[in-house]
Amino acid sequence: MELTGAEIVVRCLAEEGTEFVFGYPGGAVLNIYDEVFKQNKFKHVLVRHEQAAVHAADGYARATGRTGVALVTSGPGATNAVTGIATAYMDSIPLVVISGQVPTAAIGMDAFQEVDMVGITRPCVKHNFLVKDVRDLAETIKKAFYLASTGRPGPVVVDIPKDVTQHKTEFTYPKKVTMRSYNPVIKGHPGQIKRAVQMILDAKRPMLYTGGGVVLSNAAEELTQLTRQLGFPITSTLMGLGGYPASDPLFTGMLGMHGTYEANMAMQHCDVLIAIGARFDDRVIGNPEHFFQDGRRIIHIDIDPTSIAKRVKVDVPIVGNVKDVLAEMNKLIQVSKEKPDQAALKTWWTQIELWRSQDCMKYDRDSSLIKPQYVIEKLHQVTRGDAYVTSDVGQHQMWAAQYYKFDQPRRWINSGGLGTMGFGLPAAMGVQFAHPEAMVACVTGEGSIQMNIQELSTCKQFNLPLKIILLNNRYLGMVRQWQEFFYGNRYAESYMDALPDFAKLAESYGHVGMKIEKPEDVEGALKEAFDMKDRLVFMNFITDQKENVFPMIPAGKGLSEMILV
């Protein structure tokens, strides 16, 4: 039977097992929306801004590992989606974003709501398509899902002109798709894996450095097995948190610009560094020249060959899926008669414990003001470490990463690469749709939350019982911190004046609002909020204005050049 392009889009999404489409209608996608209306295979979630549609699809993808889907119209709908797409691209999140386009005959005519979506998104997608013929539509959508979810995942845009959604063709959905130009390597090279294992067994001062690749490839189990059977110290990037249980003694905390003293020092002074699904980016190792350490050998496992030897030279590169490579390594280590030098490892741990005894995460617990770190610690306690935590970008993001001890993967959801303020609330919506029964907390700042605050309306429409933890210091805190450290306390435009009454604002959207001003009220308020299982609670914590994120490595410095409290 012949179907219209619009019918085909909807059928393809159903074939892919799509549960939710996050979107916003408009002229170019009216035909598609008409078919969305007629079907019941997936639920459409109407957001209040296209950026939020993509972030919500992204949050859904991060929390589930499945491909998120967003649907936007042409022109401004498409451009509004770009920040969301770039956010997903930087963090390698599988998304399919369908955008409407003006009719093919109008393309290039500066038509109403026309924008070159394929051109605009080219640098921030894994791939994109403009579908000019309805006969190519089904296969293109199949390819989009295939590309988004395999290899190093990423967002794929499918731009569909309005007339293509009207044209008819015979519909068959391809069972599978092969592309001669796209064959991601999954299994690591056996020789390289052997070399790596030998290097690991010979290590005197080993260090495991893990990143978002562990979470993306669902390799937490393999990583935990590897780490525990070796007894090696392990650290994680911001993106990898939860890949290894943070409450485990082998875990040295997050590394990088705001990482722990022990993790950063161990990174710098180890003799064998095992990088797993991490990419040595500037917020992690700082300046590559300062990071360089004579005699330290590096093993680097990554599915994307371009991530290897990009910023740091490595001794044993292994291109492959982290999960598969770690499983191979575990097997080899299990059958090997050799064991790492236990005496050397013990000495190394003594050194690490010495660094750890610096207690770099300490803060003033007797303050009469609410300390943001304290709020996160209490959040962890009240939710028994079992919440999904999304965040925006800034100081609150770092505190959430440092003080909420993530023991499971896919629980910590934040924009690490692009650093997108406004991500937290819509991402939390996507998470709550994926896990309706779960506790979902959005840790945010008064700057970030206002970048997508309109989504409180979406939350009301769909009864999403999110808990918004606003750490309100009346400053763009991270900007203020840099201005304090590096710009002679000149707080240029970082003060947030004329803030709304957030509690009343939340109430006006039909939610519960709270304002918490004293440290002794923090725990009770959190308990009260999480007891309201069917309501969104917006918690406005008035925190210490001058609190800073420590430790800190100034930009351009090396890992051992930390500023401690």
Backbone conformation region of residue 528, classed left if phi is above 0, alpha if psi is from -120 to 50, else beta: alpha
Q: What mask of x and - would describe binding to other proteins in positions 292 to 331, judged by CB under 8 A?
A: ------------xxx--xx---------------------
Q: Residue 235 Cβ, how far from other proteins at the closest point, in Å? A: 26
3-state secondary structure of 426: helix
Question: What is the footprint of other proteins within residues 128-147 (CB under 8 A)?
Answer: 130, 147
**Is residue 528 at the binding interface for other proteins, with CB under 8 A as the rule?**
no
Q: Shortest Cβ distance from residue 123 to other proteins (Å)?
A: 5
| Distance from C-alpha of 463 to C-alpha of 315, rounded to nearest angstrom | 52
- The answer to the question of residue 181 lying near other proteins (CB under 8 A) is yes
| Shortest distance in whole angstroms from residue 119 CB to other proteins | 7
What b/e readout covers 113-136, taking b as 16+ CB neighbours within 10 angstroms? bbbebbebbeebbbbbbbbbebee
**Of residues 175, 180, 337, 384, which one binds other proteins by CB under 8 A?**
180
Residues whose CB is less than 8 angstroms from the CB of residue 436 and which lie 6 or more positions away in sequence, other chains included: none
Residues paired with residue 243 on neighbouring β-strands, in sequence order: none
Sheet order of strands, 127-130 included: 43-46, 20-23, 68-72, 95-101, 155-161, 127-130
**Count of residues of this chain found to bind other proteins when the rule CB under 8 A is applied:** 17
Contact 503, 454 (CB under 8 A): no
Q: What is the DSSP string of 362-384?
A: ---TT-SSBPHHHHHHHHHHHTT
- Annotated catalytic residues are 50, 112-113, 162, 478
Shortest distance in whole angstroms from residue 207 CB to other proteins? 24
Write down the least CB distance from residue 483 to other proteins, Å. 29
The H-or-E segment that residue 441 falls in is strand 440-445
Binding residue (CB under 8 A) for other proteins from 105, 179, 354, 564: 179
Nearer to other proteins, 187 or 339 (CB): 187
Query: Using CB under 8 A as the criterion, what x/- string covers residues 98-127 for binding other proteins?
Result: --------------------xx--xx--xx
- Comparing CB distances to other proteins, the nearer of 175 and 180 is 180
Toward other proteins, which CB reaches closer, 42 or 182? 182
With respect to other proteins, which residue has the nearer C-beta, 61 or 130?
Answer: 130
Should residue 182 be labelled a site residue for other proteins when binding is judged by CB under 8 A?
yes
**Short-list 99, 98, 157, CA closest to 126:** 157
Please say which residue, 182 or 482, places its beta carbon nearer to other proteins: 182
Residue 154 contacts residue 93 (beta carbons within 8 Å): yes
Per CB under 8 A, residues contacting other proteins are 118-119, 122-123, 126-127, 130, 147, 179-182, 304-306, 309-310
